[in-house]
Structure 1
Amino acid sequence: MARIKPQALLIQSKKKKGPTRIGLTTIITCNLLVILIVLSLYGTYKHWYRRSSSQLPVGLDEFEHSENSGEPKKYDLPKYAVLSTSKGSITMELYKDSSPEVVDRFIDFCQKGFFKGMPFHRVIKNYVIQGGDFQRLGAAEDWTLKIKPNREHAISPKHEAFMLGTTKAKPDSKAFELFITTAPIPDLTDKLIVFGRVVKGEDVVQEIEEVDTDEHYRPKSSIGIIDVILKQEL
């Protein structure tokens, strides 16, 4: 076998192909593909995140709004409020069309947690149950003492039992009195602003109405609101 001369080996090594170099065009194309993939994944994430958020149960947090977003529009206000009490739940329809300002104040207080732990400090059988600032006692009791013996007033839907109302006194930005009637009471026309009605949990209202009270209509055992949840639909 003939020996290959060193000069021939050198020529053959030069003919062997070295590593293929990646061109600038290929690098740019790959980078663009990576960017497109990242943008696509981000867009998919945002889509599913928004979709999952829209499917969450409508509750109190959904109606919170920042100072920069302005006041919620009337048609954005929730239609129902569910009071969780120590006796059970009371679902109330809010009259956001006829009493928008009061409903808006009520919702604002709900968002601030004002009603959490609020006691029903006045329970007057066949009349009303009252919750609010315990230091402001007397409103419902005074009304009771001034009830007209002859009730010849026409009864309108706003005078029926299980209506939700608040006092017509000058609004206090730091307080909100809550009343639920337990009987038709036309005498309170000039006292209460009706802004809702009980649509579920009338039995709970009646159970609260039956608690033992002292001579000032204060419940002998603590009973009150645990929390309030706002809803668009039942």
Structure 2
Amino acid sequence: MRNFAAMLAVTLLATATLSAANPVVVDMKTSMGPIQIEMYPDKAPETVKNFVNYANQGFYDGTIFHRVIDGFMIQGGGFTPNMQEKETGAMIQNESTNGLKNDKYTIAMARTPNPHSATSQFFINTGTDNGFLNRASARDGWGYCVFGKVTKGTEIVDAIGKVATGNVGPHGDVPRTPVIIEKVTIAQ
């Protein structure tokens, strides 16, 4: 009963947060410094709701940026510092028809080749020309759903994008020193 009450409170808080004025502001504290992101529930309502739910549950706290490709993107939200993948909730529908583009410093959902497979993982674009990730240009006709943009801490994003990487088991482009997402909070 206590777990149900906690889940209900999280859901009500997420709903109240999404009902607030657009955009939704996210504070992401990382081991390399703070990043602030604004999300657009008017453009990607299910994606923003999904991210807010994970954040409010504390899911992202203690995860890492597990894939970093200089000049392209930094990806996080699914692995612990010892590269253990976290169990996630249900997959969400791809909202890449929203008109938002994979421009530098935008945040988008990571997914498998299935266009509707995004769960918790996201990436921040660091490349100046990631247009091939947009729906109109994507080989699969779907692309990757952008749902927000970094508004403060772009220098932190740039620094993360420059860390030394290597292989850990089957995973490539893993930072040699973990870049930890210490805390993600919804500011409004």
Normalised by the size of structure 2, how large is the TM-score? Answer: 0.70
Matched ranges for 1:68-217 at <5 A: 72=15, 74-76=18-20, 79-134=24-79, 158-168=101-111, 169-171=115-117, 175-183=119-127, 184-189=129-134, 190-214=142-166, 216-217=172-173
Deviation, 1:70, is 9.1
User: 1 or 2, which has the higher helix percentage?
Assistant: 1
Aligned residues, how many?
A: 148
More strand by share: 2
Contact 1:65 1:72 (8 Å CA) reproduced: no
For 2:182 and 2:13, the matched residues in 1 are separated by 29
TM-score with structure 1 length normalisation? 0.57
Partner of 1:50: none
Distance across 2 between alignment mates of 1:222 and 1:93: 25
Task: Give yes or no for the alignment of 1:219 onto 2:171.
Answer: no
CA deviation vs aligned residue, 1:154-208 (integer Å, no higher than 9, x gap): xx86131000010354346xx4111000013011123311000001100000010
Q: Distance in 1 between matches of 2:14 and 2:31?
A: 32
1:69-100 deviations in Å (ceiling 9; x for gaps): 59715423771001000000000010111001
| CA pair 72-159 structure 1, distance change in 2 beyond 3 A | same
Q: Return closer, same or farther for 1:69/1:226 CA change in 2, 3 Å cut-off.
A: closer
User: Which blocks of at least 5 consecutive residues in structure 2 are unaligned?
Assistant: 1-6, 86-98, 135-141
Partner Cα distance (1:95, 1:69) in 2: 19
Q: 1:111 to 1:128 in 2, by over 3 A?
A: same
Deviation at 1:102, TM superposition (A): 0.5
In structure 1, the gaps of 5 or more residues are: 1-63, 137-155
What is the alpha-carbon distance in structure 1 between the residues aligned to residue 100 and residue 58 of structure 2? 30
The Cα of 1:222 is off from its aligned counterpart by 1.0
- RMSD between superposed Cα atoms in Å: 2.6
Does the 8 A contact of 2:105 with 2:126 survive in 1? yes
Larger radius of gyration: 1
- The residue type paired with residue 126 of structure 1 is G
